[in-house]
């Protein structure tokens, strides 16, 4: 479980970056769900 936490945090950060860059929200959410 602990090993998965950093991966989840990375995914959340990537989604936030996508939103900040102005990408479509759906794409960002899908990238986060893959993790």
- The span from the CA of 34 to the CA of 20, in Å, is 19
Residue with tokens 């479509």: 24
For residue 14, count CB atoms less than 10 angstroms from its CB and return exposed for 0-12, middle for 13-18, buried for 19 or more: middle
Domain map of the chain by residue range? 4-34
pLDDT in tens, 4-35: 666 667 767 666 665 666 655 555 566 656 55
Tell me what pLDDT residue 33 has: 60
pLDDT at 4: 61
State both tokens at 34: 């893959």
Q: Rounded to whole angstroms, how far apart are CA atoms 28 and 16?
A: 8
Give the model's pLDDT for residue 12. 72
- The whole-model pTM stands at 0.26
């Amino acid at each position: 479980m602990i090993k998965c936490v950093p991966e989840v945090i990375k995914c959340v950060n990537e989604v936030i970056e996508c939103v900040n860059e102005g990408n479509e929200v759906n794409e960002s959410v899908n990238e986060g769900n893959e993790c």
